[in-house]
């Protein structure tokens, strides 16, 4: 870690980011594994802690994270010993998504994916705010103050 | 779906996005499977419908989508029954790419990938507009009015 | 390649991008395979050649690229004959990362990943500049002049 990365420096520059930086984080979550769900949830909750709006648009394989069964299966990307090591230090994907929701992260389900895979709103977890399509995503992401990533 | 997501609200905010939002969508398409090609093509054609410019820069495994054989193989990421379900509701990747092209989506092939894999322009599908490198991509993506994603 | 893509045209438009475009490229590198490391390193070194700042934030599986062993294993995503073809034309990931570093690309390791996987700074390669978390990444990426991608 360089000398410039002391806690004081980081706080000062983060304060600056709050004032000058973009105001919302808009993530597309296209994968169903916990290996990509953790980075998405860490980024979204950190954005909220920095005072940014945060949205996660779950699409394609990512829609599996919006079902109870898929959320459990999402840990299968890790071998059993790694699953244990992660569980010892981090919340489960289910817990983390509930925490994100409580922190104000908006959870969007993808309408074309539900059509493609024959999913229904009733089969989705409670954290889902709404079902949107690509045009609403582009509307959110194309705002000059938005930072967007495809995960 | 929340009350705010009625059709009227969406239309109004999309109109607003057209006026205030970014003017072009620039996608990097690095994967060769139909599971990532569908999201890319849905985003690009939706961007065109919203009046945005749209570019897809096919690179690395994504270059397989610019060959006839690779385009067919791209569906192998799905089990057979899912392939049938998708085919019943969505155009094939070949058809979808032709529709995107007709809608004005720019199709770029990646020069370093062709060098790495020994591909020739003659082996690519007709939808390809040009062969570009990373500097031309960065030029498109670094425009203040551009929204860019790495898929 | 279209007529407009002659070398002269490209030079002119690249000059324009230098003046008007965004000033920094901030990549999140979440994958551990050479298939995604090559695109990231090509983009980051090209950005430097265009006069942009360039950052790569290695996270999750991408952290494997910051260990000697993981860097070698990163080529396993390719079958042996493709490994040979790539080695004939491109630097190894190790060489390429060293070249990127010399060209001024900033190499950041991810603090939460190190915690999750029990990694230590002493186990990382020399090219690492510092260990940062999601808030510092968001600070870099949310700057109005930054272009950011999740790879």
**pLDDT (tens digit per residue) in B46-74:** 999 999 999 999 999 999 999 999 999 99
On average, the pLDDT of chain C sits at 89
Tell me how many helices (H) and strands (E) chain C has.
7, 5
Q: Determine contact: A20 vs chain C, CB below 8 A.
A: yes
Do A26 and A105 meet the contact criterion of CB atoms below 8 Å apart?
no
Residue C17: pLDDT over 70 = no
Least confident interval from B59-63, C18-22, C135-139: C18-22
Asked if A47 and C117 come within 8 Å (Cβ–Cβ), the reply is no
Which positions of chain B have pLDDT values less than 50? 1-17, 19
Chains touching chain A at 3 or more Cβ pairs under 8 angstroms? B, C
> Which residues of chain B does C11 touch, with a Cβ-Cβ cutoff of 8 Å?
none
Mutual angle of helices B34-49 and B93-102, in 10-degree steps: 20
pLDDT at B21: 82
Neighbours of A130 (CB within 10 A): 16
Region C104-131: mean pLDDT is 95
Q: Could you tell me which chain C residue has the CA closest to the CA of A43?
A: C134
pLDDT in tens, C53-101: 999 999 999 999 999 999 999 999 999 999 999 999 999 999 999 999 9
Region A60-68: mean pLDDT is 97
Residue A12: pLDDT over 80 = no
> Which residues of chain A does B2 touch, with a Cβ-Cβ cutoff of 8 Å?
129-130
> Which residues of chain B does C100 touch, with a Cβ-Cβ cutoff of 8 Å?
none
Q: Determine contact: C91 vs chain A, CB below 8 A.
A: no
- Write phi, then psi, for A103 (nearest 5 degrees): -80, 0
Helices (H), A1-151: 7-20, 34-49, 68-73, 80-89, 93-102, 111-117, 134-141
Residue A78: pLDDT over 60 = yes
The token pair at C105 is 């690309």
> Which residues of chain A does B1 touch, with a Cβ-Cβ cutoff of 8 Å?
121, 130-131
Asked if B17 and A134 come within 8 Å (Cβ–Cβ), the reply is no
Asked if C133 and A49 come within 8 Å (Cβ–Cβ), the reply is no
In chain C, the largest separation of any two C-alpha atoms, in whole Å, equals 53
- Write phi, then psi, for C43 (nearest 5 degrees): -65, -45
Residue A4: pLDDT over 50 = no
On average, the pLDDT of chain A sits at 89
From first CA to last CA, the distance across chain C in angstroms is: 27
pLDDT at A10: 46
C-alpha torsion B10→B11→B13→B16, nearest 10:
170
> Which residues of chain B does A131 touch, with a Cβ-Cβ cutoff of 8 Å?
1, 5
Do C150 and A56 meet the contact criterion of CB atoms below 8 Å apart?
no
Region C135-145: mean pLDDT is 95
Q: What is the CA radius of gyration of chain C?
A: 16
Token look-up 């990931």 returns: C93
Residue B102 class from Cβ within 10 Å (0-12 exposed, 13-18 middle, 19+ buried)? exposed
Do C31 and C76 meet the contact criterion of CB atoms below 8 Å apart?
no
What lies within 8 Å, CB to CB, of B135 at 6+ separation is: C10, C14, C46, C49, C50
Q: Determine contact: C145 vs chain A, CB below 8 A.
A: no
The token pair at C51 is 């006069």
Query: Which residue among A60, A121, A148 places its CB closest to the CB of B147?
Result: A148
Q: Which of C68, C73, C71 is nearest to C122 (CA)?
A: C68
CA of A122 vs chain C CAs: smallest distance (Å)? 31
pLDDT at C21: 82
Cα(C90)–Cα(C80) distance, rounded to whole angstroms? 15
pLDDT at B4: 36
Cα(A38)–Cα(C60) distance, rounded to whole angstroms? 9
pLDDT in tens, A43-63: 999 999 999 999 999 999 999
């Amino acid at each position: 870690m360089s000398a410039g990365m002391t806690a004081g420096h980081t706080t000062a520059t983060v304060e600056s980011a709050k004032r000058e930086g973009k105001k919302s984080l808009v993530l597309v979550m296209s994968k169903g594994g916990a290996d990509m769900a953790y980075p998405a949830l860490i980024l979204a909750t950190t954005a909220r802690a920095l005072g940014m709006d945060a949205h996660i648009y779950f699409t394609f394989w990512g829609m599996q994270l919006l079902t109870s069964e898929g959320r459990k299966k999402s840990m299968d990307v890790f071998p059993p010993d790694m699953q244990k090591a992660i569980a010892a230090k981090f919340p489960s994907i289910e817990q983390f998504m509930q925490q994100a929701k409580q922190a104000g992260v908006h959870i969007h389900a993808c309408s074309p994916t539900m059509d493609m895979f024959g999913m229904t709103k009733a089969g989705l977890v409670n954290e889902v705010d709404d079902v949107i399509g690509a045009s609403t995503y582009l509307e959110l992401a194309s705002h000059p103050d938005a930072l967007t990533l495809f995960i």
